Amino acid sequence: MSGKMTRSIIEDLLPLYNEGLLQDETARWLEQQIRENPDYQPLLEKSREPLPVEVPSAPTDYATMMRKIQRKLSIMQLIFMALSFFMALSTSMMGGSFGFVFWYAVLGLVSYLFYRNVWLGLLVSFVPIFLWLFVDTFQGWVQGSVEGTGFFGFLLMALVGALVGAGIHTLFALGGMAIGWLFARKKPLTVALSIVLALGVFLVYNELNGNPVSKWIAEQKLEAYLEETYPEEELRVKEGFYNFKFSTYEFEVIAIGTAGADGNPVKYRFGLRGLIPQVVSDGIYDDRLDVALMERLGLEAAEEIKALLEPKVASLREVDVYLEVPGGLLPEDTAWRKGLPVAEEMRIGLTLDAEGLTVQDVSEMARKVQIALDGAGYVYRHVNVQANEWSGADGKDLGPLKYAVSFKRGDDVTDYKVEAFNQD
């Protein structure tokens, strides 16, 4: 074996030798070679020297890097908090909006998720609206628009009003914080509860403020209704709004090519209601009703019905009949009769003298009314029976309502539910 080959073998075996990984015979051979040849001794010594460890240079100090990341996160948190706070204030009751139900919940949720601090959420949701309400109320006293109240009395009233108003807003912020707290627990039950609570907030918001999806559907439904009902007219739907009093989406519809008394196009109001909104009020239909004919036919029908019911219902005082006659449907000299095409939509109101009557008496009278109307062949939409007190020298002044019951044609006459009022 040549010396060069032996040297190469020794160089390959030295790392294994230093680690104790050679067999005994191989190790003895290697040691013998090194002893017999002084040129191999430096190789052994060099192989035992530790290899240099290259330490990578850190371009950025760790603490400095973490401070920069934390600073960026804080800025983003502040931006989200500021946006939530701005939206919450802009949708408060002071602005005539019920959007605060949603946005104060968002404010509470964001403040809790970012800072996990309930007190901070209460601070940003309660204090600003409290100050706003208090200052706005107190300003009325300063400007003299409130009379009959002393300074301390009005101060107390302003404080109570601000506390109640701010408390209502904060209640929904607490709801948002509760949603965040429950969700952060990451347990199936708490996550489910957070979803239920969030759904509850949405339902309250939807009841008071509507929602963009339903509003869009309502607008599409109205467009289709107008095309189907008034195909010959050019109508344009303008931006609508949600009327929480009647739970309706209301739209203004402009009749293109028309001119009202002010010279501007004629405008009509339409209302839609329901989970899948449907038209419940038609401004064009209402505007084109033949009111004079309606009133005359209503009076004639009321006289006829009163003559039928008086012998059967001794306490009967008044009968009112409402029916709708679209313009041009009937001649102006049309006389009342049961078979008129508008009779099916007739609504009848009966007023009784409540003196001496009980709930059972009113229920029995309502049964007699239904039997008499059905027996005489009247077709109607709805009957409302109310019993009031009567006052005045001649006993003709309508007083407080005592009982009320209503029914539709075909309702079960044995299952009337009479409501009682003003029984003190």
Q: What is the pLDDT of residues 200-253, one digit of tens each?
A: 888 888 888 888 889 999 999 999 999 999 999 999 999 889 998 888 999 999
Sorting pLDDT into bands at 50, 70 and 90, what band is 155?
confident
254-271 per-residue burial string, b: 16 or more CB within 10 A, e: under 16: bbeeeeeeeeeebebebb
Of all residues in the chain, the percent with pLDDT exceeding 90 is 36
- What are the residues facing 397 on neighbouring strands? 391
Lowest mean pLDDT among 29-43, 191-205, 267-281, 353-367: 29-43
pTM: 0.61
Cβ contact 87:106 at 8 Å: yes
pLDDT of 22 reads 75
pLDDT of 258 reads 87
Q: Indicate if the pLDDT at residue 106 is higher than 90.
A: no
- Three-class DSSP category at 243: strand
What is the distance between the alpha carbons of residues 215 and 272, in angstroms, rounded to a whole number? 9
Sorting pLDDT into bands at 50, 70 and 90, what band is 263?
confident
Furthest CA-CA distance within the chain = 147
Cβ contact 324:286 at 8 Å: no
Parallel, antiparallel or unpaired: strands 382-391 and 347-353: parallel
Q: Which of 48-57, 87-96, 153-162, 330-339 has the highest mean pLDDT?
A: 330-339
Give the residue from 351, 333, 346 showing the smallest Cα distance to 376.
346
Sorting pLDDT into bands at 50, 70 and 90, what band is 61?
low
Sorting pLDDT into bands at 50, 70 and 90, what band is 186?
confident
Mean of the pLDDT values across residues 413-418?
80
Provide the 8-state DSSP code for 289: B
Sorting pLDDT into bands at 50, 70 and 90, what band is 150?
low
Sketch out the chain's domains with CATH numbers. 3-47 (no CATH), 70-209 (no CATH), 212-287 (3.10.450), 291-420 (3.30.300)
Q: Phi first, then psi: what are they for 265, rounded to 5°?
A: -55, 145
pLDDT of 319 reads 95
Condensed to tens digits (0 to 9), the pLDDT of residues 125-142 reads 787 778 777 777 777 666
- What are the residues facing 281 on neighbouring strands? 271
pLDDT of 75 reads 66
Q: Please state, in angstroms and as integers, the Cα–Cα distance from residue 408 to each residue in 243, 323, 341, 344, 405, following that order.
A: 28, 15, 19, 11, 11
Mean of the pLDDT values across residues 178-191?
89
Q: Indicate if the pLDDT at residue 80 is higher than 60.
A: no
Of all residues in the chain, the percent with pLDDT exceeding 70 is 83
97-124 per-residue burial string, b: 16 or more CB within 10 A, e: under 16: ebbbbbbbbbbbbbbbbbeeebeebbeb
pLDDT of 7 reads 75
pLDDT of 134 reads 79
Cβ contact 182:191 at 8 Å: yes
What is the distance between the alpha carbons of residues 61 and 329, in angstroms, rounded to a whole number? 88
Query: What's CA 137's distance to the chain center, in Å?
Result: 28
pLDDT of 85 reads 63
Condensed to tens digits (0 to 9), the pLDDT of residues 337-348 reads 988 888 778 999
- Average pLDDT, rounded, for the chain: 83
* More reliable by pLDDT, 68 or 254: 254
